[in-house]
Amino acid sequence: SSGINAEWPLRPGKLGVQVVVTDPEKLDAIRQREADITKEKIQLILNAGANVVLTTGGIDDMCLKYFVDAGAMAVRRCKKEDLKRIARATGGALVSSLSNLEGEESFEPAFLGQAESVCQERICDDELILIRGTKTKPSASIILRGANDIYVDEMDRSVHDSLCAVKRVIESKSVVPGGGCVEAALSIYLENFATSLGSREQLAVAEFAQALLVIPKTLVVNAAKDSTELVAKLRAFHNASQTIEAKRHFKWIGLDLENGKCRDNKEAGVLEPEMSKVKSLKFATEAAITILRIDDMIKIYQPSKEDPNSYQNAVKQGRL
């Protein structure tokens, strides 16, 4: 199938001129000419080889008849975002007007995209237009079905989060083990590094190392497990991996929140994109630095209005 993504309505439009008719018999000729202008536009598209037309505007019933007679499919009131995706996938182009640089109307076959099939199918209570076998880029649509709208919305958010995670992995081209593994390893390393400092910087590095444990502790609490015990075991594994050469493989150890224990998250496939991990640490550090730069805070209190009938005012005025 070949198709066109049009951004203009296929219906007889206003020409922007006023026509003074002296002979009432000429009205039919004017209406016929308006219809012929639209028919000529449609014929330009069909002659280029298009058999599927998608447009953001409406399509007049008379125009639909021309497409039906030619054996073509015309779909009206499509979303512009959908047309952009279809154009990228099929190799077509969004056409806003048929006018060329010479001021004449023309339509080039190069504007058409290609797909193996375009059909209409009924899924649940909706009629969907399915485009299969796009030429330029492979693409896919995910159709979510659920018992109610709330359930489907929650599924939509979950799928969106999953796709964003995959996108981050592709952008960063590297992953790190998840389940609090990175935070625990950094915390142990910074605590050991802090002991090598002989100035007040030791306190800052030690506090930074302690703050990193908030992530694994929060993960354990959300899973309704004992955070004190699990985080202590996790720190013991990473301390052994950084101090004992024979236990270097413990550096992949993270939290298994389903079973309430520690495991090798690299083997389990629990991974996170490196880009997200680095950015979250940078943003949190910058936020903390911004707060620490505040030396003084000035508060403006609203002047309190004294009650004339209070005990102190009554004593001053001699009423008591």
pLDDT at 76: 84
The pLDDT of residue 211 is: 92
Task: Please name the residues in contact with 13: beta carbons below 8 A apart, sequence gap of 6 or more.
Answer: 38
Amino acid at 81: E
d(CA 32, CA 35) in angstroms, rounded, equals 5
pTM, rounded to two decimals: 0.56
Q: What are phi and psi of 162, to 5 degrees?
A: -65, -45
What is the C-alpha separation between 71 and 1, in angstroms, rounded? 12
Q: Could you tell me if 131 and 85 are in contact, meaning their C-beta atoms sit under 8 angstroms apart?
A: no
- Let me know: does 85 contact 79? Beta carbons within 8 Å: no
Residue 237's pLDDT is 92
Task: Give pLDDT < 70 ranges for the chain.
Answer: 1-17, 302-306, 320
CB 175 within 8 A of CB 271: yes
Sequence-ordered list of residues with C-beta below 8 angstroms from that of 72, at least 6 positions apart, any chain: 46, 50, 51, 52, 53
Nearest-CA neighbor of 86 among 110, 67, 113, 59? 113
Query: What is the pLDDT at residue 306?
Result: 67
- Kindly tell me the burial class for residue 5, based on how many C-beta atoms sit within 10 Å of its own C-beta (0-12, 13-18, 19 or more): buried
For residue 183, the model assigns a pLDDT of 92
Pairing, β 94-95 against β 253-256 = unpaired
